[in-house]
Structure 1
């Protein structure tokens, strides 16, 4: 039996097995060069016809058809009594008999009801729970390619992790249990196939605070969903570890003396920070909570930067800021709603026919409606996730360039947007202030000052982020002069989780 570490991230996920000496990265997505990383998004789709509507919906449609038949029978009766020719009466008599036969043929009525319902039904009409129970699942680049090719065939859940601590309506909680169970089962099967042994234990990374406004109740809900999903995926034992602490366990192996370390983990969806006592002679201990000096976190990940860059750098080329004939600007909520890939209710609303009609009406109130047509294309063709992905690529390219031209030809032929490093910097300022405030909070809550800084997570590769974090100063400590520990920005969390999984399996 083996134990694995699972970094279940907002943007990407990873699985690592540690044998006590070496980390083994599980290949999850052969379509990618870095095959041990996989998009956390899931595409749930239908290759052919959609599933039958729920029984209650079919019954309601049958009742509607029956009412229509009854009305036809009544009209045929009136015509029968008004007819003066016996042959004409016979025609209406036969029609009444046929309609009564149709009224009592329940299997045929149900078939007709299903046919009528499916004629106008789209994937968006299905509840998330029904989608999970009846659809097919595609992960990683395979799923994203399917989504790009046929978005109308399914539904892309851009970041399941972002919903775990949020308020979920009836059925949605179990739907997310099902989605995540499918992902975790895929991870476990991949590990077992490559390791040639059974995997029954996992240590899964978790943010300090899951996304949501429900506080500790939301955190408890998220852990409950993840626990149920792990059990459904076949894991016998599962534990959770805060992601910055996991990263600390990895770098602890490189230290030659006890060191208080500030770990800043900035991922796709959250920023998590801890100040922790590290010592190589403690790296076999399972419980290290007494060494955690301070820990904090919130939803301040790279995805927020992707959306901010759209609003600041791309949306103006899509009509944002234009004035209507009444001298009021195009509603800015159009563009924030367009980016809401991590908010299912808001995105469903944006993709609705009513929202599309509202955008079309707004276009009619503009002197130059061409720019807003680009927004309408995103709305009609459900391109939000693709646009956010384009923004993420732009952000990554600007880590090494002063300016780029971002092609958005899937929205409009020859549609290109020039984005500079200055544009990115400007779009990140409000986000950076929140991150720096969070780091300051962690420093002020720590009983002992850090002696070393370690910044990890995908956003740590941004020169803008590195520069701003190292500028932080409080009354007690300045990060300007703090030694910076070099490490793997993408793998340190999962490697730390794998170390904890190894210790857990050996303690059983």
Structure 2
């Protein structure tokens, strides 16, 4: 039996096994060179026909068909009584008998109702729970490629983790349990195949606060969903560990004396900070809560930067800021809704026919409708997730360049946007101010001052983040060099090995 660490992230996920001496990275996405990382997004799709509509929809359509038959019977009766010729009267009598037989033939009515429903049904007509229960799943780059090729064949959940603490309506919580169970089962089976042994235990990373606005209720809901999903996926024992603490366990193995370390973990969906006392003498200790001096966290991740970059640098080329004939600006909500890949109700509203009609009507009352036409293309062709992904790539490229030209030809031929490092810096400043306040809160709540700084998570590679935290905010703290992408999962695997 083996125990693994699972870093179930907002943008990417990872699975690691620690044998007591060495970390083994589980290969999850063979299409990537660095295949131990996989996109956390899920594409749920249908290869052929959509599933049979729910019984309630079928019965409603049957009732509609029966009402139409009743109208036909009434008209036939009227013709029957008005007929002067006995043969004509007989014809209408036979028609009435046929219609009555059709009215009472429920199996035939149900078949007809299903045909009519499927004729006009699209994936958007299915609830998330129906999709999860009846659709096929594609993970990682395979799923994203399928989405790019045929977005109308399924639905992309860009970041399932972002919804776990949200106010989920009826059926949605069960849907996320089923969806995440599919992912966790895929992780477990991949680990068993590579390790050649049964995997029954997992330590799963968790943010200090899950994405959502429901406080502790949201956190409890998120853990409940993850725990039930892990059980459904075949794990018999699962524990959760806050991600910055997991990262601390990884770097603890590199220390030669007891040290207070400030760990700043900035991922795709959340920023989590902890101040913790680490010691090589405590490497095998299972429970370490007494060593945690302070911990804070908030939903301030890299995805917020991706969306901010769209609003600041890409949306102006899509009509943001244009004035209507009334002198009022185009509604800024067009662009925030366009980016809402982590808000299913808002994104569904943006993709609705009424929303597209509203944008089209606005195009008729602005001086430069061509720019707004790009927004309409994103709306009609459901390109929001692809646009956010392009913004993420731009952000990553600007980690090593002063300026880039971002191609957006999937929106419009020859459409591209020039973005500079200064543009990215300006778009990130409001977000960075919140992250720095989070760090200040953690320092304030710690009874002991940190002696070293460790920054991890994908956003730690940004030169803008490094400058703000290392050079400006915490210039006197020595920095521990470490792996920005793997430290959390390696720490989770270390904790799992103790179980």
What is the TM-score normalised by the length of structure 2?
Answer: 0.99
| Aligned positions of 1:397-416 closer than 5 A | 397-416=397-416
* Cα displacement (A) at 1:98: 1.5
- Partners of 1:471 and 1:36 lie apart in 2 by 32
> TM-score, normalising length from structure 1?
0.98
Question: Deviation at 1:268?
Answer: 0.4
Which residue of 2 is the match for residue 150 of structure 1?
A: 150
Cα deviation, residue 168, structure 1? 0.5
Where 2:475 maps in the other structure, the secondary structure is helix
1:98 maps to 98
**2:328 paired residue number:** 328
After TM superposition, where is structure 1 displaced by more than 3 Å over at least 4 residues in a row?
none
Q: Which residue number corresponds to residue 497 of structure 2?
A: 502
2:70 alignment counterpart: 70
How many Å apart are 1:471 and its aligned residue? 4.1
State the Cα distance separating 1:368 from its structure 2 match.
1.6
Q: Which runs of 5+ in 1 are unaligned?
A: 474-478
Q: What's the offset of the Cα at 1:472?
A: 5.1
Query: Partners of 1:271 and 1:53 in 2: how far apart?
Result: 42
Give 2:483's aligned residue: 488
Q: CA separation in 1, counterparts of 2:464 and 2:39?
A: 24
What is aligned with 2:159? Answer: 159
The residue matched to 1:131 in structure 2 has which SS? helix
Is the Cα–Cα contact under 8 Å of residues 440 and 472 in structure 1 kept in the other structure?
no
Indicate the residue corresponding to 1:19 in structure 2.
Answer: 19
Note the C-alpha offset of 1:84: 1.1
For 2:260 and 2:340, how far apart are their aligned partners in 1? Answer: 39
CA-CA distance at 1:151 after TM superposition: 0.3
Cα deviation, residue 470, structure 1? 1.7
Give SS of 1:470's match: helix
Cα shift at 1:90? 2.2
Q: Aligned equivalents of 1:335 and 1:33: distance in 2?
A: 34
Hey, what's the Cα distance between the residues in 1 that align with 2:71 and 2:262?
A: 76
| Other-structure match for 1:476 | none
Aligned counterpart, 2:177: 177
1:235-274 alignment, distance < 5 Å: 235-274=235-274
The answer to whether the 8 Å contact 1:23/1:495 transfers is yes
| Deviations, residues 340-375 of structure 1 (Å, cap 9, x unaligned) | 000001001101111111111111111221000100
Q: What pairs up with 1:43-62 in 2 under 5 angstroms?
A: 43-62=43-62
* Structure-to-structure mapping, 1:337-348, within 5 angstroms: 337-348=337-348
- Give 1:86 shift: 1.9
The CA deviation string for residues 103-148 of structure 1, in whole angstroms up to 9 with x for no partner, is 1111110011111111111111111111110001000000000000
Q: What is the aligned residue count?
A: 499
Aligned to 1:31: 31
Structure 2: runs of 5+ lacking an equivalent: none
The alignment partner of 1:480 has SS state of: coil
Q: Secondary structure at the match of 1:481?
A: coil
Query: What corresponds to 1:283 in structure 2?
Result: 283
Secondary structure of the corresponding residue to residue 449 of structure 2:
coil
**Counterparts of 2:302 and 2:202 in 1: how far apart (Å)?**
26
